[in-house]
Amino acid sequence: MPQLLGPFANTFSRVVLGAIIAGPLIIVAALVGFQWSPAATGQGDALEQPIPFSHKHHVGEMGLDCRYCHATVETTAFAGMPSTHVCMTCHSQLFTDVPMLAPVRASLAQDKPLVWNRVNVLPDYVYFDHSIHIAKGVGCAECHGPVHDMPLMRQAEPLSMGWCLSCHRDPGPHLRAQAAITDTTFVAHNAPTKARALVRAYHIDSAHLTDCSVCHR
């Protein structure tokens, strides 16, 4: 009787069986990896803006305070974006004919606001309040990174749920004194003793910071 299966039949069957078992696991691992990758989170992305505003120049070189342009960051959920009049406070006197600033001049002449593209965008189902983070000692750079070194504003962090929770579970190492809130060169790496002292000083109830209702309302 002729042999129906060759000498490599067992090896082939093992390879096929292994592929059937491992294939879905590899696909799931790839999807999870992509979800955390910058391609999915947008980390590192710099969006096109009506003018190529340089934080490196304005903040890093000129020392402009974040609150000059983001005027409502201490009082409302939204930090605010600079209006045309804020830009023209300086640029009615400086670089008045630079082509790069033509959209600002047109905005003033036509009485139409500049439309800035938000670089750090959270899903609609996430509630984020800038004012409470500022009030509790979370500096701008904790979320926005070293903006003083950004020629174009980019998303510095993944802004994922896991990333937010890592801070909410242990906020102490990320806190700073109010005098350093807008200092983007300041890096908070608080030792445990100092971290606990800052949590107490800011009256932070860390036991409930991971409650769903804190961010999902």
Q: Domain check: are 172 and 203 in the same one?
A: yes
Report the C-alpha gap between 130 and 132 in whole angstroms: 6
Does 126 fall in a domain?
Answer: yes
Confidence (pLDDT) at 1 = 45
Confidence of residue 44 (pLDDT cuts 50, 70, 90): confident
Q: Domain check: are 165 and 63 in the same one?
A: yes
Report the C-alpha gap between 120 and 134 in whole angstroms: 17
For 176, residues 6+ apart whose C-beta sits below 8 A from its C-beta are 137, 138, 139, 183, 186, 188, 198
Q: Domain check: are 195 and 146 in the same one?
A: yes
Q: Domain check: are 35 and 69 in the same one?
A: no
Cβ-contact 111, 105 below 8 angstroms: no
Q: Domain check: are 64 and 147 in the same one?
A: yes
pLDDT digits (tens, 9 = 90+) for 12-37: 667 777 667 866 767 766 556 655 56
Q: What are phi and psi of 76, to 5 degrees?
A: -135, 170
Does 90 fall in a domain?
Answer: no
Domain that holds residue 29: 12-41
Q: Domain check: are 27 and 59 in the same one?
A: no
The pTM of this model reads: 0.81
Does 35 fall in a domain?
Answer: yes
Report the C-alpha gap between 25 and 22 in whole angstroms: 5
Q: Domain check: are 37 and 137 in the same one?
A: no
Domain count for the chain: 2
Does 162 fall in a domain?
Answer: yes
Confidence (pLDDT) at 6 = 57
**Cross-strand bridge partners of residue 138:** 175
pLDDT digits (tens, 9 = 90+) for 68-113: 999 999 999 999 999 999 999 999 999 999 999 999 999 999 999 9
Quick check: helix, strand or coil at residue 177? coil
Does 31 fall in a domain?
Answer: yes
pLDDT digits (tens, 9 = 90+) for 101-155: 999 999 999 999 999 999 999 999 999 999 999 999 999 999 999 999 999 999 9
Q: Domain check: are 65 and 170 in the same one?
A: yes
Does 144 fall in a domain?
Answer: yes
The 8-class DSSP code of residue 152 comes to S
